[in-house]
Amino acid sequence: MGSPRGQFSSRIGFILAASGSAVGLGNIWGFPTNAAENGGGAFVLIYFVLAFCLAYPALMAELIIGRYAKSNISNALQKISDNKATKTVGKVAGLYGITIATLILSFYGIIAGWMIAFFLEPLFTISGLSAVSNWLTHSGELRNLLFCALFILLTVGVIRAGVEQGIEKWSCRLMPSMLILMVALIIYVLFQDGALTGLKIYLVPDFQQISNPKLITSALGQAFFSLSLGVGTMLIYGSYLSPDENLPAMGAIVTIVDTSIAFLAGLLVLPALFVAQQQGLTIYNEAGSLIAGPDLIFQTLPALFQGMGLIGIPVSLVFFCLMTIAALTSSISMLEVPVSYTIENHGINRHSATWLIGGLTFAISTIIILNFDHMFDFIVALTTEYSQPLLGLMLCIFASWVWNRNKLLDEIRKGYPKVEASIFWKIWPGYVRYCCPALILLMFFQTILNS
């Protein structure tokens, strides 16, 4: 039986849920386009180094704090503090993290809604309802509102059912399905004309770019977003993890799954772009760089699928289904952050808390949709470029400066009795204490300088 506040019932349940949070639109869309814009293989290389050397240590900080405190980010940061000042900072930082998780969900829900609309489009095309399929693929407020609402409802449906019956059960169903769809698509795309050119651009590093500060900040931002760091998602998932589990190993598996799926996504998206070029589509923009961003997913790829004839219909269905699943396994982790806080700090039951926060998130999404040109990019930058790194920095500081080192060691020891003799323990504490904060700050100032 699970504990009253919920617990993952199995190791694989946790791994799939945490990897599900990590693997999302950031991997399948963000990673390949970032790679295309920033020197292909050079970006991939730097990304892997940063994911393991910087994002993994920060991920560990979240998992360890979460499992020790067995509560949401705001309570957890207070629990590991032993004086009034740090407790107050912990509370405020935690509440800020919860707000940022909700804001990320509100813009993520809009994009995920587009994925559902594009998924349905071919079904209406084959049914001869071309007016509907046209409406589905053309941006409009009503379409955006409806599909965002639908996606948030799906997320609410999973979170309402709790940790074991909702998060764990659905992650165990959705993650393997996503992987199968992805591998099937990669195999298909790699056999099309033009795919090998894309593969080359993706895998052959342009070493001249390796010291480009933009490449490094993009790779680090991508690694933080991809591992869902800073806002308390990994912390809350850690809080549902059994004390018997070996935390450094769990964190390493999640990082490996996340980076591997990002890598696989590159094998799909970049070759697909060059297959599109082979079919006569334009894949470079006026500035001479590869098409990225929304144009890639919502114009170039749909045009490619259309140009494939009949086979394009299942290919498009599979691609947008894959995107929707990836988005859903991430959005459930975002919604769990404010929901767990509402349950734990305001005594509201899970069912009501989920509807309440789901409704609030949709209200924010509605404001963004109705003021799209002014708000969308701003909210994305505020949450992912500025807030996530700063919150990640805060978590590293709390784990290494504020928390008592012996208590931290005891927590890891529960599932890993020999931790003191491991390389993890020889490197990690100093690393989160000095290197992570310094590197995150460096990246943060780079981001400010670039903006």
Q: Which residues are paired to 284 by β-bridges?
A: 290
The region of 18-26, 124-132, 136-144, 149-157 touching ligand PFF under the rule CB under 6 A is: 18-26
Is residue 381 a contact partner of residue 374, using CB atoms and an 8 Å limit? no
Q: Which of 26, 32, 122, 437 binds ligand PFF (CB under 6 A)?
A: 26
Q: Select the residue interacting with ligand PFF from 78, 333, 342, 447 (CB under 6 A).
A: 333
Q: Which positions ≥6 away from 289 have C-beta within 8 Å?
A: 36, 37
Tell me how far apart the alpha carbons of residues 163 and 275 are, in angstroms, rounded to a whole number: 42
Taking the complex as a whole, the smallest distance from the CB of residue 418 to ligand PFF amounts, in Å, to: 31
**Phi and psi at residue 258, in whole multiples of 5°?**
-60, -45
Contact (Cβ atoms closer than 8 angstroms) between residue 255 and residue 56: yes
Which residue is it, tokens 């990640």? 392
Helix, strand, coil percentages for the chain (3-state, nearest 5): 85, 0, 15
Among residues 101 and 343, whose Cβ is nearest to ligand PFF? 101
Of 176, 178, 159, 174, nearest in space to 240 by CA: 159
CB of 324 to ligand PFF, least distance (A): 12
Nearest-approach distance from CB 387 to ligand PFF, in angstroms: 10
Nearer to ligand PFF, 98 or 419 (CB): 98
Q: CA-to-CA distance for 413 and 423, rounded, in angstroms?
A: 14
Looking up tokens 């046209």 gives 134
User: Measured between alpha carbons, how far is 168 from 174 in angstroms, rounded to an integer?
Assistant: 10
* Selected binder of ligand PFF within 63, 175, 231, 261 (CB under 6 A): 231
**CA dist., res. 319 & res. 184, Å (int):** 10
| Window 198-227: contact mask with ligand PFF (x via CB under 6 A) | ---------------------------xx-
Closest approach of ligand PFF to the CB of residue 354, in Å: 17
As a whole number of Å, the CA-based R_g of the chain is: 21
Question: Using the rule CB under 6 A, which residue among 8, 16, 18, 21 binds ligand PFF?
Answer: 21
Instruction: Report the residue number, 26 or 39, with the smaller CB distance to ligand PFF.
Output: 26
Q: Does 324 bind ligand PFF (CB under 6 A)?
A: no
Q: Can you read off the two tokens belonging to residue 308?
A: 């494939």
Residue 451 CA from chain centroid, whole number: 23
Of 15, 16, 17, 25, the one binding ligand PFF by CB under 6 A: 25
322 is an interface residue for ligand PFF by CB under 6 A: no
> One symbol per residue from 80 to 109: x for binding ligand PFF (CB under 6 A), - otherwise; what is it?
---------------------x--x-----
User: What do you get for the CA distance between the two ends of the chain, in Å?
Assistant: 51
Beta carbon nearer to ligand PFF, 315 or 335: 335
Q: Does residue 233 belong to the site contacting ligand PFF (CB under 6 A)?
A: yes
Among 17, 18, 22, 273, binds ligand PFF (CB under 6 A): 22
Structure tokens belonging to residue 122: 């071919």
Q: Which stretch binds ligand PFF (CB under 6 A): 20-28, 48-56, 162-170, 340-348?
A: 20-28
Residues at the contact surface with ligand PFF, assessed by CB under 6 A: 21-22, 24-27, 101, 104, 225-226, 228, 231, 233, 330, 333-334
